[in-house]
Structure 1
Amino acid sequence: MTSRKVVELFYDVVSPYSWLGFEIMCRYRNVWDIELKLRPAFLGGVMQGSGNKPPGLVPNKFLYMNNDLNQLSKYFDVPLQAPSDPFEAMFKKGSLVAMRFVTAVQEREKSGDKQLERVSRELWRRIWSEDKDITQSASLTEAAKKAGLSDREIEEVLKLSTSQEIKDKLKNATQDALNYGAFGFPMLVCHVDGKQQMFFGSDRFELMAHCIGEKWHGPRPDHSAAKL
């Protein structure tokens, strides 16, 4: 008997390409015969650990990214819109506080990942659709409320997010990504029949489907799905 396929998705809410990968995998989790494991991690740590350079340090790459994201937003049906100062949002402010918050949501939720999915999406929406902050407690609280968390739950998550337990969990997830060979996000690691295969980026889904024995049905496998 063939064991079920497991797909780990490593992501950071500061990364617009991660948002694309995240939405596709959430759409396909019930289309493909897979178990999807969401793995929030810290992109800054992966960039530093792998020796990679952010696109903002390569002018031509940064210019290309804006046009690329506009086209991808339409193709994937994800409401991406670059913030007024992408470099500041992505690299000066960073995402460490936000990713600790997301990790705390995951830790508190324990069973399932519905809250994790919704909170992650709301944080992406804030930075990559509404040009809003994701570093302040008030910003995290607003995103969590939109995701359906109660005031009590948000208070618990905010407190948990500053604990050493959560700092270590995020650090370990980031190291796991590096151990798999990550140099950026999104990164997907597919485990099939005792073997693993890593795919980077939001443009490898057709190849990934082929490698895991599934079929790519385009960015909207369920065309009746509600708009984001």
Structure 2
Amino acid sequence: MAPVRRTLELFYDVLSPYSWLGFEVLCRYQHLWNVDLQLRPSLIAGIMKDSGNKPPALLPRKAQYLTKDLTLLRHHFQVPISLPKDFFSVILEKGSLSAMRFLTAVHLDCPEMLENVSRELWMRIWSRDEDITEPQSILAAAQKAGMSAEQAQGALEKLSTPKVKQQLKDTTEAACRYGAFGLPITVAHVDGQTHMIFGSDRMELLAHVLGEKWMGPVPRAGHAKL
């Protein structure tokens, strides 16, 4: 009898570089572990507000550490992270509401494109220091990720619809109910139990919960770099 397939929910926001690391690791492992990976676009600002947490960038020592941390993680995870030049403006002023609503619309209408579009938005903000807030920026990301112009425009036109706004709110609130105080969180559903794991640096703990083998952030030799 085949083992029961476990479900992993990844709650993420493209404003979070650590979400990108966790996202790439789980995308690499989803075909190696006996899991069903479900991507959950969420709004980190809503989670921060609900939990009373503050962005690391607001604390000088954390902000200083974050810069060095991401430089090391870039090589360890083989993910091309680079900090935007105007870091505080990107994180604290521009935010990611439009981008996350767009990913929510993609999730609803073109779920097969969600992984690629999410990755391209991360590439824009965290690798090429490009905008993710303006409509043309979002359309450019979607089309580069493989969406047709018609699909991308259709998703963009739904950003302010009650359905999309409610779905993003519901997903964010679901993350909060699981205990999120930041992103990413991975929620593993195993043998009738639910395990919430925070961050991108506890994937070996996730492997332990799943009873799977952890082979590092790049599990296969010669894994193609982004």
Query: Do they superpose with TM above 0.5?
Result: yes
| 1:199 alignment partner, SS class | strand
Query: Contact 1:20/1:76 (CA < 8 Å) preserved in 2?
Result: yes
Q: What residue in structure 1 maps to residue 26 of structure 2?
A: 25
1:56: how far off?
A: 1.6
Q: What residue in structure 1 maps to residue 197 of structure 2?
A: 199
Counterpart residue type for residue 105 of structure 2:
A
Q: What residue in structure 1 maps to residue 76 of structure 2?
A: 75
Q: What residue in structure 1 maps to residue 66 of structure 2?
A: 65
Q: What residue in structure 2 maps to residue 159 of structure 1?
A: 157
The alignment of Structure 1 onto Structure 2 pairs a total of residues equal to 225
- Deviation digits for residues 93-152 of structure 1 (CA, Å, limit 9, x no counterpart): 00011000011011111xxx4310010000000000011110000100110111011111
Query: Contact 1:3/1:192 (CA < 8 Å) preserved in 2?
Result: no
Q: TM-score, normalised by structure 1?
A: 0.96
Q: Please, what is the CA RMSD of the aligned residues? A: 1.0
Query: How far apart, in 1, do the equivalents of 2:159 and 2:187 lie?
Result: 26
Task: Please point out which of 206, 219, 222 is paired with 2:220.
Answer: 222
| 1:10 alignment partner, SS class | strand
1:159: how far off?
A: 0.8
Q: What residue in structure 2 maps to residue 182 of structure 1?
A: 180
1:4: how far off?
A: 1.8
Query: How far apart, in 2, do the equivalents of 1:100 and 1:152 lie?
Result: 17
Q: What residue in structure 2 maps to residue 104 of structure 1?
A: 105
Query: How far apart, in 2, do the equivalents of 1:223 and 1:12 lie?
Result: 29
Matched, 1:93 2:84: no
Query: How far apart, in 2, do the equivalents of 1:200 and 1:86 lie?
Result: 23
Q: TM-score, normalised by structure 2?
A: 0.97
1:90: how far off?
A: 1.2
Query: How far apart, in 2, do the equivalents of 1:189 and 1:60 lie?
Result: 29
- Deviation digits for residues 7-58 of structure 1 (CA, Å, limit 9, x no counterpart): 1000000100000000000000000111101000000000000000111211
Counterpart residue type for residue 198 of structure 2:
F
Counterpart residue type for residue 153 of structure 2:
E
Query: How far apart, in 1, do the equivalents of 2:150 and 2:101 lie?
Result: 18
Query: How far apart, in 2, do the equivalents of 1:226 and 1:55 lie?
Result: 31
Query: How far apart, in 1, do the equivalents of 2:164 and 2:126 lie?
Result: 25
| 1:161 alignment partner, SS class | coil
Q: What residue in structure 1 maps to residue 6 of structure 2?
A: 5
Query: Contact 1:29/1:36 (CA < 8 Å) preserved in 2?
Result: yes
Q: What residue in structure 2 maps to residue 48 of structure 1?
A: 49
Task: Please point out which of 135, 143, 150 is paired with 2:148.
Answer: 150
User: What residue ranges of structure 1 are gaps of 5+ in the alignment?
Assistant: none
Counterpart residue type for residue 117 of structure 2:
V
Counterpart residue type for residue 139 of structure 1:
S
Q: What residue in structure 2 maps to residue 121 of structure 1?
A: 119
1:88: how far off?
A: 1.0
Query: How far apart, in 2, do the equivalents of 1:168 and 1:114 lie?
Result: 21
Query: How far apart, in 1, do the equivalents of 2:209 and 2:224 lie?
Result: 29
